[in-house]
Chains A and B, each alone.
Chain A
Amino acid sequence: MSHNENLLEVDGLRTVFDTSEGMVRAVDGVDVTVRRGECLGVVGESGSGKSVTFSSVMGLVRSPGRIESGSIRFEGRDLTRLSPREMRAIRGRDISMTMQDALTALNPALTVGEQLSEMLDAHDEDLPARGGARRRAIRDKSVEMLRLVGIPSPDSRLDQYPHEFSGGMRQRIMIAIALAPGPKLLIADEPTTALDVTIQAQVLELISEIRARLGMSVVLITHDLGVVAEHCDRVMVMYAGQVVEEGATVDVISNPQHPYTRGLLGSIPRLSLRGKPIRPIQGQVPNLVGLPPQCRFYSRCPDRTEACLQFVEMRNVGSDRRARCIALTQEEVA
């Protein structure tokens, strides 16, 4: 076990998809650090590589996709070198993931209780070895998990099927299943996209609360900067398969360094700017096949110059702040 405070360290991750039109570099040299107990927000529009990055971490990238290079260290172990069996033991027990769509992510043919107890049966090591005692312990723990996520009368609802629950309830149940084995890291992939606003707030509040109580780390994948501002310690902005800016949430939002982050923030409607038009980012995400080695945001950047037509690396722009823009001068790291 590593002694540093970083739970997850992804270094130079490249995940590519071989398609008939050529190789799609969905994730192109991404570094991620998740510290113990923190909540990292990952923001970006559709196709920016945020989901693929964390599917790679989970080892869930399937053909035609593959991890081309890079290392994924979880508590010091490189996950890319583990056998499928070892990886399976880590999924669920150490790293859990909730899916985007709660309405389809539960098995319609099994009761909620069956799905919860499967997770506990497979991963929980504190349970009695076998027999009735184990079954009772699993049942008790299942009830406890449903209560934790705020499902009323959990004991009777365990025997119901997913279609008997509302969308928000199902999202909570998914979270309960993901949390059941007590993972160290929860990857929540757009946990609220299928829900209405009031339920969204409840679910996010729930994740924050459980994180604080259980001391786990959370990666919150979203395209809602408002959600990030409210719930995340640090934020990572992704664009076209690269990280373009990262840092403490307060700093990034109050003082964005990358033109894309500025664009994202500028396109959020605010009460203080009532009457003024929202400024959307012009253009579209470039096709990820055969990208030239220049700044990926070049075609849409309001501040582009000739100098942008070269490879741009991440630059340190303050303590714990990094951004990928040629206009920023590299700060010396003390």
Chain B
Amino acid sequence: MTSAAIHSPPVAKASGAGQTIFQRNLRQFAANRLAMASVGVVLLFVLLAIFAPFIAPHDPNETDLFRRLQPPAWQAGGEWAYLLGCDALGRDILSRIIYGSRISIFIGAAVIFVATTVGIAAGLAAGYFRGWVDVAISRLVDILLSFPYLIFAIGLMAMMGPGLVNIILALAYKEWVIPCRVVRGETLATRELEYVEAARALGASSAHIMVKEILPNILSPVIVVSTIRIAHVIILEASLSFLGLGVQPPTASWGSMVADGRAFILGAWWVSTFPGLAILLLVLAINVASQGLRDAFDPRFQE
């Protein structure tokens, strides 16, 4: 130990000073190995998506009729340059999966971003103001929840037509009710707490109370729910693409790749299987990671 440390004044900062409950939870999350491995997988996919042009061995849309339904590299007739084989138009499946991750991750993140923003605003308003605001928002939420999600999204896509922005809108249209209900419930409980009353007694405005007093205290469950929902949204996007209502060809999307391989599933299993595995792996990783988040952030799961 250096002499400076020995002679430091006795009023040295207490360990963990300035640490929020949020930071403490984050540290607990970091200690969960399985969850951290899942975060690693998710990050890997995110990196694939961002750097797709540098990582993908081939142009995802380049067709080569001589390589129609070429099997993966380790099977007879395969080539190491086309690791996971080729589809019916001779396009490299690995490259298409790498480019497809862009669509899945971008749509998943965009839908959750839009839905969480809208949901937080609506949920705060409903829970804080109560009365007719709450009735209006909560009934709207109930109505939206009464539709089957996928059928609702299919209907919207049929009305608006395909396209990236339209998929995001179609999914966010209903997705916001999930964070909205969480936020509303938490707000109802939090608005009755003494520190909110104290803020009112000290002249704080409604907007101030909602954003500065209530929101920071209810953020943890919202973050947990939102991460879990990203996985759902990715599956929904894949479902829409599978049905041909998603991103239009030739843009690579995991859902449409699975759909493309259906006709050859007995002879060329790899065309559907590898994009399907990609969906499985990403969704599983997100779910395990969000489970870890919940364990760390939900006081009921704390030791």
**Interface segment out of the listed B13-21, B112-120, B153-161, B236-244:** B13-21
Cβ < 8 Å to A, chain B residues 98-140: none
Inter-subunit contact A91/B212 (CB<8 Å): no
**Given that A88-B203, A89-B203, A96-B201 are contacting pairs, would A153 and B20 also be in contact in the complex, using a CB cutoff of 8 Å?**
no
Inter-subunit contact B201/A153 (CB<8 Å): no
Inter-subunit contact A105/B195 (CB<8 Å): yes
Inter-subunit contact B203/A60 (CB<8 Å): no
Chain B hits for A177, CB < 8 A: 202
- Closest B residue to A159 by beta carbon equals B18
Chain A hits for B219, CB < 8 A: 109
**Given that A88-B205, A91-B202 are contacting pairs, would A108 and B19 also be in contact in the complex, using a CB cutoff of 8 Å?**
no
Question: What sequence of 0s and 1s flags, for each residue 91-112 of chain A, a beta carbon within 8 Å of any chain B beta carbon?
Answer: 1110011111100111111110
Inter-subunit contact A101/B202 (CB<8 Å): no
**Given that A109-B216, A110-B212, A156-B13 are contacting pairs, would A93 and B195 also be in contact in the complex, using a CB cutoff of 8 Å?**
no
Cβ < 8 Å to B, chain A residues 76-126: 88-93, 96-101, 104-111, 118-119, 122-123
Chain B hits for A252, CB < 8 A: none
Chain A interface size, as a band, is 35 or more
Chain B hits for A107, CB < 8 A: 195, 199, 212-213, 216-217
- Closest A residue to B205 by beta carbon equals A88
Residue B59 at the A interface, CB < 8 A? no
- Closest A residue to B216 by beta carbon equals A109
Chain B hits for A164, CB < 8 A: 14, 17-18
* Candidate in B199, B204, B216, B219 with the most chain A CB atoms within 10 angstroms: B199
**Given that A99-B198, A174-B198 are contacting pairs, would A108 and B21 also be in contact in the complex, using a CB cutoff of 8 Å?**
yes
* Interchain CA distance A107-B17 in the complex, whole Å: 17
* Interchain CA distance A107-B287 in the complex, whole Å: 32
* Interchain CA distance A177-B219 in the complex, whole Å: 25
Chain A hits for B201, CB < 8 A: 58, 60, 91-92, 96-97, 99
Residue A178 at the B interface, CB < 8 A? yes
Residue B11 at the A interface, CB < 8 A? yes
- Closest A residue to B23 by beta carbon equals A161
In the complex, besides A153-B11, A159-B18, 18 extra interface pairs with C-beta distance below 8 angstroms are: A60-B197, A60-B200, A88-B203, A88-B204, A88-B205, A92-B201, A92-B203, A96-B202, A99-B198, A99-B201, A104-B194, A106-B195, A107-B212, A110-B216, A111-B18, A122-B204, A160-B18, A164-B14
A-B contact pairs, 10 of them (CB 8 A): A91-B202, A96-B202, A97-B198, A101-B194, A105-B194, A107-B195, A107-B213, A107-B216, A122-B204, A164-B18
Which A residues lie at the B interface, using CB under 8 A? 58, 60, 88-93, 96-101, 104-111, 118-119, 122-123, 153, 156, 159-161, 163-164, 174, 177-178
